Amino acid sequence: MPVRKPILLLLAVVLGAVWQVAGQGPATAAGAERHGLRGDYYLSSAAGKFDFAQLKATVIDPDLELPDLNPVFTSLTGREDDVTVRWTGRIQPAYSEAYTFSIIGDNGFRLWVNNTLVIDHWVDDWDKEQTGTPITLQAGQKYDIKVEYFEHFGGANLHLRWQSASQPKQAVPADAFYLPEGFDPPGPAGAAVDAAGDTVTLDFGDTALAALPAGAAEHFGLTVAGTKWQVASAALDGTTKVTLKLAFPIPRLAADIRASYDGKGGLAKADGTAIEAFTWVPVSNGSTYVLKTRWSDKVDANKPLPEYPRPQLVRDRWQNLNGTWQFAAAKDGEAPPFGRDLGERIVVPYPVESSLSGIGRHEDRMWYRRTFEVPASWKKDRVLLHLDAVDHESVVYVNGKQVGAHKGGYDRITVDVTDALTRKGPQELVVGVTDPTDNGRQPIGKQRLNPGSIWYTPASGIWQTVWMEPVDTTHIEAVDTIPEVLGQSLRVKVRASGDATAVVTARAGKRVIGKVSGPTGKELAVPIPDPHLWSPDDPYLYDLTVELKGGDKVESYFGMRSISVGRVNGTTRVLLNGAPVFQFGPLDQGYWPDGIYTAPTDEALRYDLEQTKALGFNMVRKHMKVEPDRWYAYADKLGLLVWQDMPSMFGAASAADKTQFESELKEIVDEHRSSPSIVMWVPFNESWGQYDISRIADYVKSLDPSRLVDNMSGINCCGAQDGGNGDVMDYHIYPGPGSPGKPGFFRASVLGEYGGLALPVIGHTWTGGGWGYAVEADSESLTKRFLEMDDALRKLHACNGLSAAVYTQTTDVETEINGLMTYDRAVTKPDVKRLHDANTALTGEILPACA
């Protein structure tokens, strides 16, 4: 998904005209000090002029922590580009000492404090922090402050920070700002959202109010990040406050909340004097409400995600260690907390930042601790401990002994803990985790410490199931399978902890159809006569039993299918089982409002794939994330082709960073190589973390020659480089589908991303607002636009040789509201039947005629 300028969503403009300075009358008691800054919003005289030519609006802004100014610009000036702003007011420090101010923004800015120019960066660049010369201030004294800013094109943000000897660097808080002297526009003295998120209180200070008449609610307005929020009722609270009851709660993460009143609702002082209309009054957000899915309340904190975690290597005996663990933030170099209770409790395996974890914040370093019992029946066995995913670097201790260490947030950690166990009684398990997220150079996908736009909340720590199992000294470690459709056989390699003879038996139901034995570590061929092929329309799976003679035994499954590219009527196309099946599905990011990376329940994990099938898709691109094994098992069983991304790293990578990236890439391929649903590996997306593109594509192909490789998804986007190899040429076009390039002789043409049609559903959004690449008014218009895109894809398939398309996206994700479903999975936005019928018609046409 490109970091390009989206079309920002704004469902409603502020009610009434935005007030200007002249003719204002205070609604608060004379002399009352009001927090905030005066914001004067202008249009520049011409593109790139950066002047203050035409004043469009004057409002109160609570502070200068402004991560996304585009919807504000649209509301106040009617456009997003070539806008200038001048903020004025007063600032009050808490300490008598030298303060250092800094600003980072997109684009240019200047800062004056006490009439002294402190920062001068009137430069058309973006996100380059500037730091001013320290200036001495006195505690409790108010100083004049002025900030000027221009926005040229693209994103728009501004962040003012300060620091002193007694105060660490931080955003200047709203309560440090005061309006300029003599500036007291109409409106309440203060406004705030309550903890439940469903009530806004307008506080008129010392002004006594008369009772509100019936129907007053319709004259009040509320916007959240530019989106109109329904006011259900309005009532007087005491004598000086008005409470607005909302139809839907405002989320904790909502920003830029504004209240308005049109002056016609009968709001008056106690003496009968009417309260003037007001608009764009800032509302502080005290909400603790966090969006969640319907599965969130089904989570048992003592037994979350109890299902067997490894469907393609199943043993009868195992023990789940998910549940409530002890937790503590850690310091660099801190000794492990052996034998002592930790102060917090966390529900494993939900990321530490998630609401389901019970912690709900990021930590760079952390400790997990619990005790467990080893069943008595395991005393003659080796005991393996599995942590299916821990982000990012982990060290594992059992009974005070280090038993394992690992780097990589997307692959399984397996350690033999037998020699660290005591003969009986509780065993102590401690896991130390370090995760710098985007302060590091490890693969992170879309995780960011400061999420926004196309970047999301981090998922640090343990985020997949923790479990253990007993095994023989010589035991099966993995079973790699590759179907040979033309050869009517299954290639099998049994990887074991020691040399042994493996016996492999394939079954169709209860009927044995093939059996072979041979040494572990060597490839064996199991005959599969007249194979029943796996496809999205018929996802047939065979059962597989693997035994070591006289020892270990596991159950598995496999599907018989082939994936390739080939020439069909002179055009290179992607072939499934030898036929040119059009692959069509959504970009699936696998984020959850309550669990972030971790689905609340197994039912939830399956639901997204079931809905993908219900919408008529036959494919899904797993974007910038690797899922638990059970997700791939559901794709195998439901019949969905999977394009699997490697989560990107970012920044200038060192040789060590590249080595780590390739190590993690190999582990991901190795762990999932036997899933029939996976048909393509995608090592790079756009230009993110790209290096040695051609070599990496060849490397992936050497790891798994049986699948397709996409050397770079989005070769036309954002500085990406086409390695020139792999099996497809992958284009990104928003909203598209546009005109992706025609296939080459050896590579098919695919549309790796398009769409991004936004439709908000109030009450089901992460921050209240959001954005998309195009905005639709309602479900019907979204459905029609999607079907028009289907028609364009059909023509591209028939006439331009397009082999596949990926629509952005399965669900809304945080501030992105371009999902086919809302982030909480409560609402599917388009007409399901109409999409299903159109999509299945598109994927069902093997070679449509060009017309």
Query: Which structure tokens are listed for 466?
Result: 């923790």
Distances (CA, A) of 411 to 217, 275, 394, 550, 670: 54, 62, 12, 31, 10
Backbone angles phi, psi at 607, to 5 degrees: -60, -45
For the segment 711-721, the average pLDDT, to the nearest whole number, is 94
DSSP 418: G
Is the pLDDT confidence value at 87 over 80? yes
> C-alpha angle 806/590/645, rounded to 5°?
55
Helix (H, G, I), strand (E, B) or coil at 74: helix
How many angstroms separate the CA atoms of 720 and 709, rounded? 16
**In sequence order, which residues have a C-beta less than 8 Å from that of residue 200 and are 6 or more positions away?**
191, 192, 193, 194, 222, 243, 244, 246, 250, 257, 259, 283
Q: What is the tens place of the pLDDT at every residue in 553-588? A: 999 999 999 999 999 999 999 999 999 999 999 999
Nearest to 636 by CA among 577, 693, 711, 556: 556
Is the pLDDT confidence value at 15 over 90? no
Query: Which structure tokens are listed for 377?
Result: 């029946």
Q: Report the run of H or E that residue 614 belongs to, with start and end.
A: helix 602-614
Peptide bond preceding 809 in cis form (omega within 30 of 0): yes
Query: Which structure tokens are listed for 548?
Result: 């070591």
How many angstroms separate the CA atoms of 558 and 566, rounded? 24
Is the pLDDT confidence value at 246 over 60? yes
Backbone angles phi, psi at 186, to 5 degrees: -60, 155
Q: What is the tens place of the pLDDT at every residue in 780-804? A: 999 999 999 999 999 999 999 999 9
Sign of CA pseudo-dihedral 470, 472, 477, 480: negative
How many angstroms separate the CA atoms of 821 and 819, rounded? 5
Give me the pLDDT at residue 450, please: 86
Map out the domains of the chain with their CATH numbers. 33-178 (3.90.182.10), 190-285 (2.60.40.1220), 296-471 (2.60.120.260), 476-551 (2.60.40.10), 563-844 (3.20.20.80)
Q: Report the run of H or E that residue 658 belongs to, with start and end.
A: helix 655-672
Q: Based on C-alpha coordinates, what's the Rg of the chain?
A: 30
**In sequence order, which residues have a C-beta less than 8 Å from that of residue 702 and are 6 or more positions away?**
none
Is the pLDDT confidence value at 104 over 70? yes
Nearest to 367 by CA among 388, 389, 346: 346
Nearest to 13 by CA among 49, 57, 66, 55: 57
How many angstroms separate the CA atoms of 846 and 828, rounded? 29
Pairing of strands 461-462, 619-622: unpaired
For the segment 150-178, the average pLDDT, to the nearest whole number, is 93
Q: What is the tens place of the pLDDT at every residue in 206-218? A: 999 999 999 999 9
Give me the pLDDT at residue 111, please: 98
Query: Which structure tokens are listed for 528?
Result: 């599969």
How many angstroms separate the CA atoms of 381 and 416, rounded? 11
Quote the crossing angle between the two packed helices 629-638 and 655-672, to the nearest 10°: 50
How many angstroms separate the CA atoms of 712 and 690, rounded? 9
Q: What is the tens place of the pLDDT at every residue in 358-391? A: 999 999 999 999 999 999 999 999 999 999 999 9
Contact status, residue 462 vs residue 353, Cβ threshold 8 Å: no
Give buried/exposed letters for 12-23 (b at 16+ CB in 10 A, else e): ebbbbebbeeee
Beta bridge partners of 843: none
Nearest to 69 by CA among 106, 119, 16, 102: 106
Exposed/middle/buried for residue 376 (C-beta within 10 Å: 0-12, 13-18, 19+): exposed
Query: Which structure tokens are listed for 117?
Result: 């120019």
Nearest to 595 by CA among 250, 252, 290, 285: 290
Contact status, residue 459 vs residue 447, Cβ threshold 8 Å: yes
How many angstroms separate the CA atoms of 589 and 821, rounded? 12
How many angstroms separate the CA atoms of 700 and 525, rounded? 23
Q: What is the tens place of the pLDDT at every residue in 599-640? A: 999 999 999 999 999 999 999 999 999 999 999 999 999 999
Give me the pLDDT at residue 32, please: 58
Nearest to 765 by CA among 358, 361, 292: 292
Confidence label for 176 from pLDDT (cuts 50, 70 and 90)? very high
Confidence label for 26 from pLDDT (cuts 50, 70 and 90)? very low
Nearest to 249 by CA among 200, 215, 320, 302: 200
Is the pLDDT confidence value at 697 over 70? yes
CB atoms under 10 Å from CB of 64, counted, come to 25
Pairing of strands 116-121, 177-178: unpaired
Query: Which structure tokens are listed for 149?
Result: 């800013």
How many angstroms separate the CA atoms of 783 and 765, rounded? 20
Percent of the chain with pLDDT over 70: 96
Distances (CA, A) of 20 to 278, 279, 725: 11, 11, 60
How many angstroms separate the CA atoms of 400 and 417, rounded? 12
Query: Which structure tokens are listed for 60?
Result: 């109160």
**In sequence order, which residues have a C-beta less than 8 Å from that of residue 12 and are 6 or more positions away?**
221, 223, 226, 227, 228
Query: Which structure tokens are listed for 323?
Result: 């549940």
What pTM was estimated for this model as a whole?
Answer: 0.90
Nearest to 107 by CA among 44, 170, 61: 44
Computed over every residue of the chain, the mean pLDDT equals: 94
For the segment 660-678, the average pLDDT, to the nearest whole number, is 98
Nearest to 489 by CA among 527, 520, 457: 527
Nearest to 675 by CA among 478, 520, 429: 478
Give me the pLDDT at residue 393, please: 97
How many angstroms separate the CA atoms of 456 and 590, rounded? 11
Give me the pLDDT at residue 142, please: 97
How many angstroms separate the CA atoms of 436 and 272, rounded? 59
Backbone angles phi, psi at 437, to 5 degrees: 55, -130
Give me the pLDDT at residue 9, please: 45
Give me the pLDDT at residue 13, please: 32
CB atoms under 10 Å from CB of 716, counted, come to 18
Q: What is the tens place of the pLDDT at every residue in 337-364? A: 999 999 999 999 999 999 999 999 999 9
Backbone angles phi, psi at 596, to 5 degrees: 55, -95
How many angstroms separate the CA atoms of 747 and 724, rounded? 9
Is the pLDDT confidence value at 23 over 50? no
Q: Report how far Cα 704 is from the mean position of its chain's Cα atoms.
A: 28
Give me the pLDDT at residue 12, please: 36
Give me the pLDDT at residue 252, please: 93
Pairing of strands 501-508, 511-519: antiparallel
Ordered alpha helix ranges (H), 324-445: none
Give me the pLDDT at residue 771, please: 86
Exposed/middle/buried for residue 340 (C-beta within 10 Å: 0-12, 13-18, 19+): exposed
Is the pLDDT confidence value at 17 over 50? no
DSSP 816: B
For the residues of 191-220, what is the DSSP string, one character each?
EEE-TTSSEEEEE-TT--BPPPPTTGGGGE
Lowest mean pLDDT among 280-284, 414-418, 474-478, 811-815: 280-284
Nearest to 523 by CA among 556, 482, 561: 482
Lowest mean pLDDT among 16-30, 68-82, 424-438, 507-521: 16-30
From first CA to last CA, the distance across the chain in angstroms is: 31
Distances (CA, A) of 391 to 351, 415, 690: 9, 17, 21
